[in-house]
Structures are given as C-alpha cells and as structure tokens.
Amino acid sequence: MGIIKIKNIRIYAYHGCLVEEGKIGSDYRVDVSVKADLSKSAKTDNLSDTVDYVYLNKIVKQEMAIRSKLLEEVVKRILNRILDEIPLAMKATVAVSKLNPPIGGNVAMVTIEMTKSRGKS
C-alpha cells in the first residue's frame, strides 16, 4: 500500500450558512490523501496503474464549485466521488479549510476533515 497526497489546493468558493458567504465567497484550502496499492505502478511506470492526482484535483475543483451550507457536505461529496470513480482508492481522507472565517475573531482557518474507506459509510 501507498499514499498519494495533495496538499494545499487553493480554491475560491461560496460555501456557508450566511447569505453574504454565498455572494462574496471565501478562500479555501483542500488537502487530500488517498491510500492505494501502488506496487503495480511502481513497476510499470504507467499512469493508468496508479491514482492520477490530476484527476483528484479535478474532483476537488468540481465539488468545491457546488455551493453548500456546511463544509461537511462538501467533504462527503469529494470522498464519495474519489471512492466511486477511482477503483484503486481503498481509503481517502479529505480536509476542507475555510481561510479567515467570518466568526468574529482572529482565526486563521476552520477545517473539516473526514475519512472514508471502500465499502464503508
């Protein structure tokens, strides 16, 4: 087994419960980690034998573009797509962070992180 990580995907999106958040948006950071059997790709040197991180990034961008009130819902959608669309992925962890959240204080970010394994909810 091996782990493919993408750290600090920066995206501007429109998530949040406040009406203003849907209008003006915020900066977000997304981190993705996927556990998969990488032994074949280590031998063959073929992209088709591994988890394509370009495709992972595409999933993140597409799901972040869909407005949600809660980051939990966004994370769940990203996890589901990774496990549904990438057969090699056995387990995935996704963290979505809202940078400088509007919570009335000097807070760098708020993060929701969830993990899902193949065959488990």
- List residues with catalytic annotation: 98
**Residue 26, CB-side half-sphere exposure with 13 Å CA sphere:** 27
Between CA 96 and CA 67, with CA 22 as vertex, the angle to 5 degrees is 50
Cβ atoms of 11 and 32 within 8 Å: the answer is no
The count of other CB atoms within 10 Å of the CB of residue 35 is 19
- Reported as type and span, the H/E element at residue 55 is helix 53-64
Which residue spans within 1-121 are E strands per DSSP?
A: 2-13, 26-36, 89-99, 109-117
